[in-house]
Amino acid sequence: MEWKHRHVLDLDTWERPDLQHILEQARSMDELLDRPIKKVPALRGKLVVNLFFEASTRTRVSFELAEKFLSADVVNWSASGSSTGKGETLRDTAWTLEAMGADAVVIRHGAVGAADYLARKLKKSVVFNGGDGAHSHPTQALLDLYTAWKKIGPLEGKKVAMIGDVLHSRVARSDIIAFSKMGSSVVLSGPATLMPRSVEALGATYDENPRSAVRDADIIYLLRIQKERQDEGMFPSLDEYHQLFGFDAALLKHARPDALVMHPGPINRGVEIASDVADGSQSMILGQVRSGVAIRMALLFVYLGGVRQ
């Protein structure tokens, strides 16, 4: 297939064959992770800059591992220790990175559209969106797709129940787009105060009752409850949230017996998910972490390795 995407900013312009191509590439990369020596020379001589304006563990580390496993040269650019802390604009930072010869930039930023802005300013570098505000987190959605696809096969006709803070979640938006494009149906559940105004516009449905939302679900996806929202009065208390919407063994019984349990991390144990479920046999949380490395290796290889078809 002809690869037509210049950057990885969002998944709304991707089609199912695009998603499938990256999943297949990730499977090849996944095999490398089991080798005694994981490093391959695919991106030798390429320079990748990780530009993180927000705290991150899984996204930042998995991108860095992916880059190093493919033998790219890696620069970790921290906003707190760079000229951005002295008032340098994102535009000037972008031009500085390109002048240094960056072949790709991975950016996480709190502002919606930051990755798109960077892509418009850079003439040569590929931009990978590592999360921009509450807008999009495309590589998280791709690793979630890969985790589910690897475990249960084709996702056509599968039901995904997503529970939690959808309103403020960039993961939710990207996952809804990705799973829908693969033929899955997505139902959202959680407090009405944590739902966007138009759920249907996202391509999902809403069921306030988590028990009926997870009924016959193939995948249950728990979204992190952002504790900082507690001060905004979005829900009465963390304890009450867990009692009404927290995912535990009792709620799991309403889903399919072999349903996958997923969470983007970091998890709040005893809030959106109980420990016995997070650590249980149906949990794919650690599998998602591994998938994150494989997917990001696949993306880097497709965009920088010279293989576009």
Per-residue pLDDT tens digits for 114-133: 999 999 999 999 999 999 99
Question: For the chain, percent helix, then strand, then coil, each to nearest 5?
Answer: 45, 15, 40
Give yes or no for residue 35 having a pLDDT over 80. Answer: yes
Give the pLDDT mean for 216-240.
82
* More confident: 215 or 235: 215
pLDDT for 82:
54
pLDDT for 128:
98
Contact 178, 205 (CB under 8 A): no
pLDDT for 39:
94
In eight-state DSSP terms, residue 227 is G
Q: Is domain 138-285 annotated with CATH 3.40.50.1370? A: yes
Task: Please give the Cα distance from 117 to 110 (Å, whole number).
Answer: 13
Q: Which residues are within 8 A (CB) of 232 and not within 5 positions of it... i.e. 6 or more apart?
A: none
Averaged confidence pLDDT in the chain:
92
Phi-psi region of 123 (alpha: psi -120 to 50; beta: other; left: phi over 0): alpha
Is the bond preceding 264 in cis, omega lying within 30 degrees of 0?
A: no
Least confident window among 52-56, 66-70, 274-278: 52-56
pLDDT band for position 151 (cuts 50, 70, 90)? very high
pLDDT for 228:
60
Contact 163, 277 (CB under 8 A): no
Give yes or no for residue 77 having a pLDDT over 50. Answer: yes
Percent of the chain with pLDDT over 90: 82
pLDDT band for position 289 (cuts 50, 70, 90)? very high
pLDDT for 308:
43
Task: Please give the Cα distance from 20 to 218 (Å, whole number).
Answer: 19
User: What pTM was computed for the model?
Assistant: 0.94
Give the pLDDT mean for 214-235.
83
Q: Which residues are within 8 A (CB) of 162 and not within 5 positions of it... i.e. 6 or more apart?
A: 172, 175, 176, 186, 187, 188, 189, 204, 221, 223
Task: Please give the Cα distance from 190 to 9 (Å, whole number).
Answer: 27
pLDDT for 46:
97
Distances (CA, A) of 75 to 10, 47, 72, 104, 148: 24, 8, 10, 11, 31
Give yes or no for residue 306 having a pLDDT over 60. Answer: no
Beta strands 47-52; 73-78: pairing state: parallel
In the numeric block, the tokens 């990748």 are attached to 48
Nearest to 191 by CA among 169, 172, 222, 165: 165
CATH 3.40.50.1370 occupies which residues in the chain?
A: 16-136+289-304, 138-285
CATH of 16-136+289-304, one of 3.40.50.1370, 3.30.470.30, 3.40.50.720, 3.90.580.10: 3.40.50.1370
Residue 249: count other Cβ atoms within 10 Å of its Cβ. Answer: 10
* More confident: 15 or 79: 15
pLDDT for 309:
39
pLDDT band for position 87 (cuts 50, 70, 90)? low
Give yes or no for residue 86 having a pLDDT over 90. Answer: no
pLDDT for 106:
97
Give the pLDDT mean for 101-108.
96
Q: Decide: helix, strand or coil at residue 245.
A: helix
Here the tokens at position 238 are 């963390």
pLDDT band for position 81 (cuts 50, 70, 90)? low
pLDDT for 2:
78
Percent of the chain with pLDDT over 70: 94
At position 228, the amino acid (one-letter code) is E
| Residue 50 bridge partners (DSSP) | 76, 106
Task: Please give the Cα distance from 199 to 204 (Å, whole number).
Answer: 6
Give the pLDDT mean for 53-81.
90
Give yes or no for residue 207 having a pLDDT over 70. Answer: yes
